[in-house]
Structure 1
């Protein structure tokens, strides 16, 4: 498109749920502002939905709703397609069709990007069109673009984040009220922070998809959700949270992506972090991502990580960028996977453990426990005893060691005659060793 032929850019939206309805609303209400920012009018020409008569949060102009999503993305007059239906199919097929038919695409689909991102990126490159996806991670928080563009001249070494609002709300309530997991989950569901089926959130699947996207961008390598080690929070107890509090720490579900030599380590699991760490103060359903790089040092991005309007804000930001690129007849940054680093197995990843052990209160117990750690070349940072007699408990925090060695140590402890029960095992992040 030449500078003198700035025709109206036509936008199709796939999905009109919590996010899609807000995208439609912003496209309508901010039409003049968007035109000024883009440099040409932006017109909504179709909204694909499953049911025409379903209740919606926004009024859609007559003639825009359609159940024919495939037909909408195949139109030769559509310049930009916004995909906010989620899931793998039909989203993947619709995005591929949109790209093949000459449209640029903005998506919020973390699950699809984490499972089959390379297919989408290759299709976008072949079609010479943009594929932008800021809204796929951490809602309104600008984190993907800083990794892809602002820090492109730096070397990112670590990305540590709270990227799931549901689990953060649950763990925050457990910390502040002393509630158990089930009680906190029930409150999250009543307030609308958790789905009726919360599995994707509480078992870490949502966070793992986001970790895969973050690791891919930060370390210029292809990382899929299946590459990310994953543990959820359903086994976190009130006792775990209380033990963290006694240590001056708090429990968070963390997405951790690290550069380990020539490999990438990517994991999602609950961990204790010191209350002095910036991520410890992230409350309720908010998200935050902590980035470490060689030149810039430590950066933190914080804000609402979900919700219709916040996510729509990220979608519209991408849409403006993609629309400007269409006018200038250029493409933005595509996939960067040149480093092609392998993903380090979790067993080789160095972590730290907090282990609480109910033991017999008799001579030699502490030495026997210390020997179990030494048998696997794991050194102990701190150990303290709580209670006496039948109520004796040892709380051990290790120095960093391969996760497999720490796991083997815990298994050995469970098999020892002097150990009645290993009551808590949790990884520790942040703070000095």
Structure 2
């Protein structure tokens, strides 16, 4: 190994791993000039050695067990893009850090689940752990939180963190089609996986938000504490009703600090005013707002996934490693991360959107209004369409600011009414 070459082992040859190889092959000289040393892939590892991945891998050594990379003295760093919060990915990263081998990973589930422990190993051994590619693909939001905004006390970090959901909601709005039709199209176009659960149920976005919350507020990642709701229940009717009310529905990850120091952390579909910059972020794009006390609000927008953007973030981390960037993984030493006090339903205040399917019988509106009154919920606007004694009809309400706990209680009571069919659809009105 020559001193002017930085050699890496690459574990995982899916979309991102192949993208890393393409970038390093295509821009070898430019990257060497920017990093100060040539970055070269020496060893690779993946489950299927024989599969054609559309890129020349003949120059690289094949490693059957990726964990062996951690002990290879020829390697200067390990790149983990296998995915999964446990198993081989966790074993490789943990072993590499213990062996003082720097790690670059794109694995959001791994960092959200085991980030504190891995960052602790990084601190103890003085070994960098970098994960820019774990959140929002090519948008440099990790670097921004850790470096550019480091002089600010943050009030909120929020945005669109999943391109699959954003594409589905965008197409539902544009075409009027229902969720399942657009999901099928997204799968055909490669925007959604064959098993789309992690995306459409909000888990992918929640992993990312857990990392952003830790970076933004100096707290330990706590994925299990997060409220998570996906977009399966969002109907074409909800999209239309939101538009009539002046809103667009977006799956948002929101982390914000309340006046009493508690932190709100949730992933759920929300109604965003049409004039808000997030409302204009469509298709597979991601966007992250950062609100700081001195800087105000800044928005970062770009492609949040895919071969090129995510691989670009991995390569950027490698360049930082070569340049000698060895800052703490979460912006502060892991021992300085605090255990957050998370806000509960009694702490969260918002306006809300309620969509009820009801039998068109006399007295249903009066019954719904009485329950809302009893839970201190005031109606701001209402839409009622159609009259059909044989089929349920829609009633859509928006409320003035109310406590989440009161809305939850009211909706539980409304669902028990004999005239109401199914569970009420409830979403927050976001004004931040």
TM-score by length of 1: 0.91
- Structure 1 392/185 Cα, relative in aligned 2: closer, same or farther at 3 Å? closer
* Deviations 1:108-132, CA, capped at 9 Å, x for gaps: 0000111111111011111101111
Shift of 1:428: 2.7
Answering whether residue 406 of structure 2 is matched by residue 405 of structure 1, we say yes
- Structure 1 380/324 Cα, relative in aligned 2: closer, same or farther at 3 Å? same
8 Å Cα contact 2:80/2:104 also seen in 1: yes
- Structure 1 244/63 Cα, relative in aligned 2: closer, same or farther at 3 Å? closer
The partner residue of 1:129 within 127, 130, 138 is 127
Q: Say what the alpha-carbon RMSD is for the aligned residues.
A: 2.1
Shift of 1:385: 4.2
- The aligned runs of 1:162-201 (5 Å cut-off) are 162-201=160-199
Aligned residue number for residue 7 of structure 2: 10
The partner residue of 2:44 within 33, 47, 71 is 47
- Structure 1 199/389 Cα, relative in aligned 2: closer, same or farther at 3 Å? closer
The partner residue of 2:327 within 328, 332, 339 is 332
TM-score by length of 2: 0.92
For residues 182 and 389 of structure 1, what CA distance do their matches in structure 2 show? 26
For residues 298 and 50 of structure 1, what CA distance do their matches in structure 2 show? 44
Q: Report how many aligned residue pairs link the two structures.
A: 422
The partner residue of 2:116 within 118, 124, 133 is 118
Query: Is the partner of 2:170 in helix, strand or coil?
Result: helix
Aligned residue number for residue 296 of structure 1: 295
For residues 176 and 392 of structure 1, what CA distance do their matches in structure 2 show? 23
Answering whether residue 67 of structure 2 is matched by residue 70 of structure 1, we say yes
For residues 392 and 208 of structure 1, what CA distance do their matches in structure 2 show? 34
* Deviations 1:122-180, CA, capped at 9 Å, x for gaps: 11111101111111011111111111111111111112211111111111111100000
Query: Is the partner of 1:271 in helix, strand or coil?
Result: strand
Aligned residue number for residue 345 of structure 1: 344
For residues 296 and 271 of structure 2, what CA distance do their matches in structure 1 show? 23
- The aligned runs of 1:3-402 (5 Å cut-off) are 6-87=3-84, 88-260=86-258, 261-325=260-324, 331-335=326-330, 336=332, 337-346=336-345, 348-357=347-356, 358=358, 360=360, 362=362, 366-387=365-386, 390=389, 394-402=395-403
Shift of 1:275: 1.4
Greater alpha carbon shift after TM alignment, 254-263 vs 187-196:
254-263
Structure 1 gaps, min length 5? none
* Deviations 1:286-335, CA, capped at 9 Å, x for gaps: 1111222221111111111111111001111111111111xxxx622333
8 Å Cα contact 2:206/2:228 also seen in 1: yes
Query: Is the partner of 2:301 in helix, strand or coil?
Result: strand
8 Å Cα contact 2:41/2:60 also seen in 1: no
8 Å Cα contact 1:211/1:228 also seen in 2: no
For residues 271 and 12 of structure 2, what CA distance do their matches in structure 1 show? 38
Greater alpha carbon shift after TM alignment, 391-400 vs 375-384:
391-400
For residues 28 and 402 of structure 2, what CA distance do their matches in structure 1 show? 55
For residues 28 and 346 of structure 2, what CA distance do their matches in structure 1 show? 52
Greater alpha carbon shift after TM alignment, 62-71 vs 402-411:
62-71
Query: Is the partner of 1:78 in helix, strand or coil?
Result: coil
For residues 84 and 392 of structure 1, what CA distance do their matches in structure 2 show? 48
8 Å Cα contact 1:23/1:315 also seen in 2: yes
